[in-house]
Chains A and B, each alone.
Chain A
Amino acid sequence: MSNYVINHLKELESEAIFVIREIAAQFENPVLLFSGGKDSILLTHLAKKAFFPAKIPFPLIHIDTGHNFPETIAFRDDLVEKLGVKLIVGSVQEAIDKGRAKEETGADASRNSLQIVSLLDTLEDHKVDAAMGGARRDEEKARAKERFFSHRDEFGQWDPKNQRPELWNLFNGRKNYGEHFRVFPISNWTEMDVWEYIKLENIDLPSLYFSHKRDCVVRDGVILANSEFIKLKEGEEVVNMTIRYRTCGDMPITGAVESEADNLDKIIEEIATTRTTERGGRADDKRAETAMEDRKKQGYF
């Protein structure tokens, strides 16, 4: 540290903490969107650091599709208790029961886009004016153009052509009644940065991220966990495989990778040599070339 330089992980940490503190200062009802994935776990960790020794001054919101991995829910409940932070759960099942959302049908049915309804309803119910998420710009091309402070109109929509310019460290969170912001404190992190930082800070993760044995179905080249939420198509069979997850979404749409990496060092080594992107296994992105852009415009995470 003698020549007054901080390394890139510390610089990214410092930037994210600055943004998280800005959210807490500029908004009345901010929340953290918690998916149970590594990025939102990282975000929660950074929020803890930002306000220590005080507790995180905003609740976590989890949109429960009902199709989550059981490991994710157990991890979530444990973390919330440890941090002493409030958890709000928005239920997709409830939205379906109320007729607010309509379940997709067919073998590839997923509740991924149904989350948009529950998410927007939950944000409205709790009068949320800033929802921070763990999205990163390196994940996907629509996200490469996302701001730290991303303005949403009163319908929760994103307009990529009408974004506020962001200069220096000056974040403009001013808004009109009924509008809200999505804020992405770890915008500038790459998948590698996330893993290196998790290792550096010794952050706990759900067991899904580490190599384990599981009954799977291979569909269109994507390895999916066999579960009650998945209907086998003709010719498909259940195979026991050694896998791990690189991202963590709903059980029926999150693709696993075959992997023996059972600790952080092995995972980092695996990522350094891998030739596919992290979302390459996400069936939700494969529906169309612009799947993410389209969902983002409607108010997706």
Chain B
Amino acid sequence: MDYQNIELLRFTTAGSVDDGKSTLIGRLLYDSKSIFQDQLDAVEESSKSKGFDYVDLSLLTDGLKSEREQGITIDVAYRYFATPKRKFIIADTPGHIQYTRNMVTGASTANLAIILIDARKGMLEQTHRHAFIASLLRIPHAIVCVNKMDLVDYSEEVYNTIVSDFKAFSSKLGIKDIQFIPISALNGDNVVNRSENMAWYQGSTLMYHLETVHISSDHNLVDCRFPIQSVIRPHTLENQDYRGFAGRIDGGVFKPGDKVKSLPSGFVSTIKTIELNGEQIEEAFAPMSVTMTLEDEIDNSRGDMIVRENNVPEISQDLEVLVTWMSTKPIQARTKVVIKHTTNESIGMVKELKYKIDINTLHRIEGIDKVEMNDIARMSIRTAKPIFYDAYKRNRQTGSIIIIDEQTNETIGAGMII
């Protein structure tokens, strides 16, 4: 297997309590042979000591003592597995209590969301929530797994009803790519291996989808955006005049010779080199970390952004943002906060709370005076200095912010710029 030439797919799993999410993850890890004997031994031991008759694969994803003591799962856990085609990172988020906060966190870096539905229960309120968050965070691909098909006699009719219910709801959401798969995570039907119990299903297995879904266009390749992380100045005899701008490309394709503009100064120059560790790079695009040098001496620093001369982002101190609130402390209008955007940081003020979204019905709730934990709300934020941004729907990196409490330094909100 040519392990050095495979792609990375990050996906998130959203599920409610008892819909088999942990079993599905256990199954993917187990069937892709990503579980080691000592891990399996530990799970067998645990299953036995809990008095179970069978080895509970869901225990593989069971976490910390602090969680077991309280019988809950704390925020996001990350799991890894690889097949000869791809390497996968699962952001495993629990479906209760702090669900929105956790799901948003897991979804922010995902290329794909797996949404689990219990075939016996059909669409639930939580399913609406999961689908809405996947669309809000602009996860490019979604796979809806109708699980526990074994418990509805592998009925095509049950499956079709759920699929059409989901489509009716998701048509309002605008997720570009949705696939549906009937599975049984417990028995392995259509997870890695094709089910012999559902001859009526002509589509592919979950693993096949994960391995083949087209992800190369998930990054923005059009709008060139290079936020500067730091300036590299070696101060050595052989590199006295070297001035490199270190950063990770957030959009577009940069090449040596390109005319570029620095923000906020507005100075225009030409890219001299793009390199990493002294190796020259001919074309740099997201999500590559590189060091860029320019033909002219421009006094850029952290938080500045290099873009193309004829394609600049929005530049403004007023942001309209959809925010997921992550703190137990509610926020009201006229609160001072710290805003982090790309490599830039600014003091900001929440000027106005416009409305909350009821994530089960998608209705707007107007006339609000505070935003609480797990709320999704639209607000206006004024920053102390200009922010160079794109709409979140155009670029997930240059369109996102986090909100930080000035006193406690906690991350209290996650925002998508409209």
Contact = CB atoms under 8 A, between A and B. Distances in A.
B66 A175 contact: no
Nearest to B60: A141
Contacts of B219: 4
A7 B236 contact: no
A174 B229 contact: no
Nearest to A199: B4
B120 to A, nearest CB: 30
A193 interface: yes
A276 B105 contact: no
A7 B7 contact: yes
B173 interface: no
A168 B109 contact: yes
Given A274-B36, A275-B37, A163 B302 contact: no
B172 interface: no
B164 interface: no
Contacts of A168: 108-109, 396-397, 400, 402
A277 B80 CA distance: 13
A88 interface: no
Given A11-B287, A145-B76, A176-B409, A54 B235 contact: yes
B36 A14 contact: no
B368 interface: no
B217 to A, nearest CB: 8
B406 to A, nearest CB: 9
A197 to B, nearest CB: 9
A156 to B, nearest CB: 17
B232 A54 contact: yes
B6 A167 contact: no
A55 B234 contact: yes
B170 interface: no
B404 interface: yes
Contacts of A196: 3-4
A172 B340 contact: yes
A10 B402 CA distance: 27
Interface stretch (A43-51, A70-78, A117-125): A43-51
A10 B288 contact: yes
A15 B411 CA distance: 21
Contacts of B397: 168-169
B414 A165 contact: yes
A200 B277 CA distance: 15
Interface residues of B, number: 77
A188 B105 contact: no
A205 interface: no
A17 interface: yes
Contacts of B79: 138, 144
Contacts of A7: 4-8
Interface string A80-114: 00000000000000000000000000000000000
Contacts of B62: 141
Given A172-B340, A196-B3, A144 B78 contact: yes
A165 B6 contact: no
B248 interface: yes
Nearest to A189: B80
A167 B104 contact: yes
A196 B87 CA distance: 13
A235 interface: no
A255 B81 CA distance: 25
Contacts of B285: 4
B64 A172 contact: no
Contacts of A200: 4
Contact of A145 (B8, B75, B338): B75
Interface string A263-283: 000001000101111001000
B409 A174 contact: yes
Contacts of A275: 36-37
Contacts of A5: 7, 215-216
B276 interface: yes
B276 A172 contact: no
A174 B3 contact: no
A170 B216 contact: no
Interface stretch (A18-26, A60-68, A224-232): A18-26
Interface in B129-183: none
A3 B80 contact: no
A290 B216 contact: no
Contact of B36 (A3, A163, A280): A280
B161 to A, nearest CB: 36
A51 B6 contact: no
A10 B77 CA distance: 23
Contacts of B402: 167-168, 170, 172
B289 interface: yes
Given A5-B216, A53-B239, A145 B63 contact: yes
A60 B19 CA distance: 47
Interface string A156-170: 000011011111111
Chain A CB within 10 Å, residue with most, of B75, B105, B236, B289:
B289
30 contacts: A8-B7, A17-B248, A17-B289, A18-B248, A21-B230, A22-B229, A50-B289, A51-B232, A52-B277, A52-B278, A53-B236, A53-B278, A54-B236, A137-B78, A137-B80, A144-B77, A145-B63, A145-B64, A145-B76, A163-B74, A165-B75, A165-B101, A167-B400, A168-B396, A188-B89, A192-B3, A272-B1, A274-B36, A290-B65, A293-B64
Interface of A: 1, 3-15, 17-18, 21-22, 24-25, 48-55, 137-138, 141-142, 144-145, 160-161, 163-170, 172, 174-176, 187-188, 190, 192-193, 196, 200, 268, 272, 274-277, 280, 289-290, 293-294
Given A50-B289, A188-B78, A272-B1, 11 more contacts: A14-B287, A25-B229, A25-B230, A52-B278, A138-B80, A141-B62, A167-B104, A167-B414, A168-B108, A176-B409, A293-B66
- Which 10 pairs between the two chains have the least Cβ-Cβ distance? A8-B8, A174-B409, A54-B234, A275-B37, A17-B289, A49-B277, A167-B108, A14-B289, A280-B38, A5-B216
